Chain A
């Protein structure tokens, strides 16, 4: 067995240094619900485990006003689900994060971990892409911010450089008449991996859609921002024709694989169906805001 070290630094600088010192053998531990499974199966053989849960900034939710929130990357799904103001402001983001695993998993698993694990089927991805979340990254050369859709470079791969740590994600302020929704298709009733996942975030003003973003998961090597789907909705009254145009844009954006959970044809078709259904939920919610 290899000699593993565990450290739980109190600051991001220390954590980043520990990751640099470990070379390629450092692994960040947040909720551990992916890392420990991967270690047990031999997929991951870390030399150093850097537990970042003693770093306040990574463990807190900040209400920035106007519907904007900064959420620490290691905050558990359970805590996110219990945050009333956040849930009211961003129901789609919260429902996506709360779909990840059982109550036991929710007790530890974090949205930051879900993102950094970089599965194209991760539920947090499409909802955060639709939300237009900005990621704050801390590294040996200071901080940088990137849109969430720039984090993934392929299945299991991120654009984080050595020593860089995802600190938090910020959900932007939105005008009145905005809301969001996330839907996924799974073969079971609950607790499974998405065959397709769609997040929709939109704003309605005077009966017209004034802003819309669509995130699409599990149909390409990375989670996708489907700009054409958003464009199809903006300026419309969100009528059937506009929704069909957005659904077609989602189908066109799909580059899925065939696997035991779904064929290419099935995934492509479902992407359009889920776009319409999650848009319908987001529209209902936006009208109530």
Chain B
């Protein structure tokens, strides 16, 4: 089968890869590029464990074809920390114990970061709606919501 040659940007790094035309972006991230932070929970757009941003827009990597990455900018969970410096969301998730098994956490972090970049003053309802596409079987969600609300409050405090 003819492989396609794709040129894209992932977490700020110019990246090239070869893929099959019908391969999902999630498979390329995990299997071809070794970026295994994004998880496959369902492969059908239901769980959000594969959440990435595509040109700044939150999407499911399992529902995107890898060739669609051509010329685009992709951000994954691997791009959230700066070297050894955890992102405020990551720190707060540790502090609040907002994860247990952790399989949903990369997707939740990517989705929460996308929310806070749009709106640093969300209501609890807005946070719950925004993260409704990220399923978690462990935490019962409450600690996740508290952590995101608290980071938002910190961001507003720092901006003052």
- Interface residues, chain A, CB within 8 Å of chain B? 1, 3-6, 8, 29, 31-33, 36-37, 39-41, 46, 49, 51, 53, 76, 78, 101-105, 107-108, 190-191
A101 to B64 Cα, complex, angstroms: 15
Q: Determine which of B24, B54, B60, B130 lies in contact with A105 in the assembled complex, contact meaning CB atoms within 8 Å.
A: B60
Selecting from B29-37, B40-48, B89-97, B143-151, the interface stretch reads B40-48
Instruction: Please tell me if the beta carbons of A103 and B65 are within 8 angstroms of each other in the complex.
Output: no
List the A side residues contacting B64 at CB < 8 Å: 32, 36, 108
Within 8 A of A (CB), among B53-104: 54, 57-60, 62-65, 67-68, 70
**With known contacts A39-B22, A190-B132, A33–B68 Cβ distance under 8 A:** no
**With known contacts A32-B64, A104-B58, A5–B21 Cβ distance under 8 A:** yes
Within 8 A of A (CB), among B1-41: 1-2, 4, 20-22, 24
A107 to B111 Cα, complex, angstroms: 11
Q: How far is the CB of A32 from chain B (nearest CB, A)?
A: 5
- Interface residues, chain B, CB within 8 Å of chain A? 1-2, 4, 20-22, 24, 43-45, 48, 51, 54, 57-60, 62-65, 67-68, 70, 111, 114-115, 129-130, 132-134
Instruction: Please tell me if the beta carbons of B133 and A49 are within 8 angstroms of each other in the complex.
Output: no
**With known contacts A37-B63, A102-B48, A6–B22 Cβ distance under 8 A:** yes
A104 to B24 Cα, complex, angstroms: 15
A69 to B133 Cα, complex, angstroms: 30
List the B side residues contacting A29 at CB < 8 Å: 65, 68
| Top 3 closest pairs, chain A to chain B, by CB | A102-B133, A6-B21, A107-B59
**With known contacts A6-B67, A108-B63, A37–B45 Cβ distance under 8 A:** yes
Instruction: Please tell me if the beta carbons of B63 and A103 are within 8 angstroms of each other in the complex.
Output: no
List the B side residues contacting A6 at CB < 8 Å: 4, 21-22, 65, 67
Instruction: Please tell me if the beta carbons of A76 and B65 are within 8 angstroms of each other in the complex.
Output: no
List the A side residues contacting B132 at CB < 8 Å: 102-103, 190-191
Starting from the known contacts A6-B4, A6-B21, A8-B68, 19 additional A-B residue pairs (CB-CB under 8 Å) come to A4-B20, A4-B21, A33-B60, A36-B24, A36-B45, A36-B64, A40-B44, A51-B67, A101-B133, A102-B133, A103-B58, A103-B115, A104-B45, A104-B48, A104-B111, A105-B45, A108-B63, A108-B64, A191-B132
List the A side residues contacting B62 at CB < 8 Å: 36
A39 to B45 Cα, complex, angstroms: 13
Instruction: Please tell me if the beta carbons of A104 and B59 are within 8 angstroms of each other in the complex.
Output: yes
The residue on B at minimum CB distance from A3 is B1
List the A side residues contacting B60 at CB < 8 Å: 33, 104-105, 108
List the A side residues contacting B24 at CB < 8 Å: 36
List the A side residues contacting B43 at CB < 8 Å: 40
A66 to B110 Cα, complex, angstroms: 40
The residue on B at minimum CB distance from A41 is B44
List the B side residues contacting A36 at CB < 8 Å: 24, 45, 62-65
Instruction: Please tell me if the beta carbons of B54 and A107 are within 8 angstroms of each other in the complex.
Output: yes
List the B side residues contacting A107 at CB < 8 Å: 54, 57-59
* 18 residue pairs bridging A and B, Cβ less than 8 Å apart: A6-B67, A32-B65, A33-B60, A33-B63, A36-B62, A36-B63, A39-B22, A41-B44, A101-B45, A103-B114, A103-B130, A104-B45, A104-B48, A104-B60, A104-B63, A108-B59, A108-B60, A191-B133
The residue on B at minimum CB distance from A40 is B43
| Most A CB within 10 A of own CB, among B54, B57, B114 | B57
Q: How far is the CB of A90 from chain B (nearest CB, A)?
A: 21
A101 to B46 Cα, complex, angstroms: 9
The residue on A at minimum CB distance from B110 is A104
The residue on B at minimum CB distance from A190 is B132
Instruction: Please tell me if the beta carbons of A105 and B65 are within 8 angstroms of each other in the complex.
Output: no
Q: How far is the CB of B39 from chain A (nearest CB, A)?
A: 13
Q: How far is the CB of B53 from chain A (nearest CB, A)?
A: 8
A102 to B59 Cα, complex, angstroms: 9
List the B side residues contacting A37 at CB < 8 Å: 44-45, 63
A283 to B56 Cα, complex, angstroms: 37
Q: How far is the CB of A158 from chain B (nearest CB, A)?
A: 22
List the B side residues contacting A105 at CB < 8 Å: 45, 60, 63, 133
